[in-house]
């Protein structure tokens, strides 16, 4: 197989911590359906929460560098890329966002 050397310039932040948004603990009886899936009762507190909270659950990435504030991503991003603390959140010139394990990133990139 041919061998390649990386020469891309990317933006990246080392990840110190990843926090996940949690579904609230509902105090009152809730239906067993889901507003998002169209099987809701429409009037319980879970349905109210889902109506006011459209879109996928979120995750918060806390960068290792304290100069940068924590920021939200879709929890699906974390699952898709298998992102974990210690690795790097990476953004390419075309806007694509990804994750790179620390060893691979640090062996392939030097900070400008």
Domains contained in the chain, CATH given = 11-23+58-108 (2.40.50)
Average pLDDT over residues 21-32: 78
| Torsion, Cα of 84, 86, 88, 89 (10° steps) | 50
List CB contacts of 40: < 8 A, sequence separation 6 or more: 31, 33, 34, 46, 47, 50
**Structure confidence by residue, pLDDT tens digits, 36-82:** 666 667 778 888 887 887 777 789 999 999 999 999 998 889 989 99
- pTM for the model: 0.74
What percent of the chain clears pLDDT 70, i.e. is strictly above it? 92
Mean pLDDT of the chain: 87
Average pLDDT over residues 16-36: 79
């Amino acid at each position: 197989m041919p061998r390649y050397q990386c020469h891309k310039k990317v933006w990246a932040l080392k990840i110190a911590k990843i926090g996940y948004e949690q579904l609230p603990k509902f105090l009152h009886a809730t239906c067993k359906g889901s507003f998002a899936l169209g099987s809701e009762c429409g009037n319980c507190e879970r349905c109210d929460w889902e109506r006011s909270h459209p879109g996928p659950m979120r995750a918060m990435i806390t960068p290792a560098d304290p100069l940068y504030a924590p920021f939200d991503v879709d929890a699906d991003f974390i699952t898709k890329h298998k992102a974990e603390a210690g690795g790097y959140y990476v953004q390419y010139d075309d806007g694509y966002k990804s994750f790179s394990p620390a060893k691979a990133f640090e062996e392939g990139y030097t900070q400008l």
